[in-house]
Amino acid sequence: MRMTGLPEPKIRIQNVSYAYDRKQVLRSISLDIPDRSVTVCFGPAGGGKTTLLRLINRLNDMVDGTSLSGTILVGGQDIYAADTHIPTLRRKVGMVFALPLPLPGTIRENVLYGLKVAGVHDRGHLEERLEISLTQAALWDEVKDRLDGMASALSGGQQQRLCIARSLALEPEVLLLDEPTSGLDPISTAKVEESLQQLKSEYTIVIVPHSVQQAARVADYAAFVLMGELVEHGPGKTVFTTPKDSRTEDYVTGRFG
């Protein structure tokens, strides 16, 4: 359903159902995700939120034994159309995972990996992207003197911001974050949440939070997913303070989860 009074949504998930190994994981989900804002996809564990995210950058293509019905449009284009060029899609729709996953190599190599496999070789351009992405991820000041040091030497929080910078280097349109702060201490978490607030002015951000509190902190729009079903969605304030569905209210107030 369209949220009225808003410009064309960046991502349109229409009637998406998804099964893995004959188990139904998502049931007929329809959701519009607006541009330049933070949309939170929250709910108890195992509900299908991560799966939903991974459908948007087609990362689930790497898994066998799945079946998908419905449509997903990103920027107006059906990403499951037969002629979709998947690497291009994944550069447009970046993803940050729950655990910091630095690639083997230096900080510079990590941030520029995406550009390298995209065939970008212009040194000047690469250095520029390196600085911009690390700045956007609130990491530049901490690593600018050791760009050629090993990424594995960074702390957990720094590594996670490195992963964010890595995706940003490709100048995506959408950034998907799957519980990005679940392994991080409160200070690192705050830094990541702060960078998201900066980033939303340029990107569409979809985040699976690791707690209801985080969801309430960062959400412009919120979608509550329970056992594969989209129970309720709307502006963040509404969903968290005056939810329409009793299940949403129970989860948000901590009666279950």
Partner 1 sequence: MNRYRVQQAGFVLLGATALAVVVPILLILLIIIVRGWPALSWEFVTAMPRDGMRAGGLFPAIVGTLVLTMGTALVAIPVGVGGAIYLSEYARDNWLTNSIRLAIINLAGIPSIVYGLFGLGMFVLFLRFGTSIVAGSMTLAIMTLPVIISTAEESLRSVPQEFRTVSASLGGTTWQGIRNIVLPQALPGILTGIVLGLLRAAGETAPILFTVAAFYLPRLPRTPMDSTMALPYHLYVISTQVPGMPESLQYGTALILLTIVLSMNVAAAFIRSYFRRRRQW
Does 101 sit near partner 1 (CB under 8 A)?
yes
The two structure tokens encoding residue 37: 């804002």
Q: What x/- string results for residues 156 through 185 when contact with partner 1 is judged by CB under 8 A?
A: -------x--xx--x---------------
97, 224, 240, 251: which one binds partner 1 (CB under 8 A): 97
Using CB under 8 A as the binding criterion, the count of chain residues that bind partner 1 stands at 27
34, 48, 94, 157: which one binds partner 1 (CB under 8 A): 94
87, 127, 213, 235: which one binds partner 1 (CB under 8 A): 87
> CA quadruple 50, 12, 207, 247: dihedral positive or negative?
negative
The two structure tokens encoding residue 227: 């056992």
Closest Cα partner for 29 from 223, 254, 250, 246?
223
1, 62, 81, 187: which one binds partner 1 (CB under 8 A): 62
Give CA–CA dist 201/134, Å, rounded.
Answer: 17
Does 118 sit near partner 1 (CB under 8 A)?
yes
Contact positions with partner 1 (CB under 8 A) in 28-57: 57
What are the two backbone dihedrals, phi and then psi, of residue 242, each rounded to the nearest 5 degrees? -130, 70
44, 70, 75, 105: which one binds partner 1 (CB under 8 A): 105
Cα 164 off chain centre by:
10
- Assess contact for 214 and 186: CB atoms under 8 A: no
**What per-residue string of b and e applies to 211-239 under the rule 16 or more CB within 10 Å gives b?**
ebebbbbbbbbbbbbbebbbbbbbebeeb
Stretch near partner 1 under the rule CB under 8 A, chosen from 14-22, 40-48, 84-92, 135-143: 84-92
Does 217 sit near partner 1 (CB under 8 A)?
no
Residue with tokens 């960062």: 218
Does 64 sit near partner 1 (CB under 8 A)?
yes
- Assess contact for 19 and 25: CB atoms under 8 A: yes
Stretch near partner 1 under the rule CB under 8 A, chosen from 43-51, 110-118, 197-205, 225-233: 110-118
Residues that bind partner 1 (CB under 8 A): 57, 59, 62, 64, 87-88, 90-91, 94-95, 97, 99, 101, 103-105, 113-114, 116-118, 150, 152, 163, 166-167, 170
